[in-house]
Amino acid sequence: MDNADILSTIRERRSVHRFLSEPVAWSAIETVLEAGRWAPSRFNTQPWQFIVIQDPETRGKISQIIQRFTIAWEGVVQAPYLICTLVDPAMDDRHFVEAGAVATQNMALMATSLGLSTYWIGLLNGYDKPESAEAEIARLLAVPKGYRIISLLPVGKPAYKATGERKKLEHLVHFETHGNKVRAS
């Protein structure tokens, strides 16, 4: 894969909230998980673990929990796989959120490169509060005490083609200080 292929995959990745009922090969999910495994982490601590949920009943329970804070809950039930990314803050108390986020992004990009779709459901919202979605899902999935759930990632074949534009680079880039739009030669 050359740089153009990588940038193309990054540009193609979009959140898709509805999935076809078609099965996805386990080998594709293993490749997605492998991409998560190879995410960078501080001092290579690799503080993440992944729970793969196929059971429709469990995915249904999770969708009921997340309905409290997102309108994009149906994909959890429709997608044949749901990947839960959790991290152990004890392995990296300073950057565990970033580590889990990068692992999730790697998996989303790999899914896109395989012709699959995903969307990111953020859950890091207070595992110390028993009524929080993170705590409820942690109990449902038997997540070890102390671990934090960073994201849920439904993975499946897209039911539609998502589109979206990005801001122009010149609106986002500053040189040397914020507000300076002039690049030194």
pLDDT at 1 (0 to 100): 58
Residue-range domain boundaries for the chain:
3-171
> b or e along 158-182 (b: 16 or more beta carbons within 10 Å of the residue's beta carbon)?
beeeeeeeeeeeeeeeeeeeeeeee
List Cβ neighbours of 1 (8 Å cut-off, separation of 6 or more): none
Task: Give the span between the Cα atoms of 60 and 39, in whole angstroms.
Answer: 29
Mean pLDDT of 10-14: 91
pLDDT of residue 120: 92
Min mean pLDDT across 4-13, 18-27, 35-44 is at 4-13
Check whether 2 has a pLDDT greater than 80: no
Where does 3-171 sit in CATH, by number?
A: 3.40.109.10
pLDDT tens for 84-143 read 999 999 998 999 999 999 999 999 999 999 999 999 998 877 656 777 899 999 999 999
C-beta of residue 100 within 8 angstroms of C-beta of residue 85: yes
Average pLDDT over residues 8-19: 92
Task: Indicate whether 49 pLDDT > 70.
Answer: yes
pLDDT for res 18: 95
Report how far residue 145's alpha carbon sits from residue 126's, in angstroms, rounded to the nearest whole number. 13
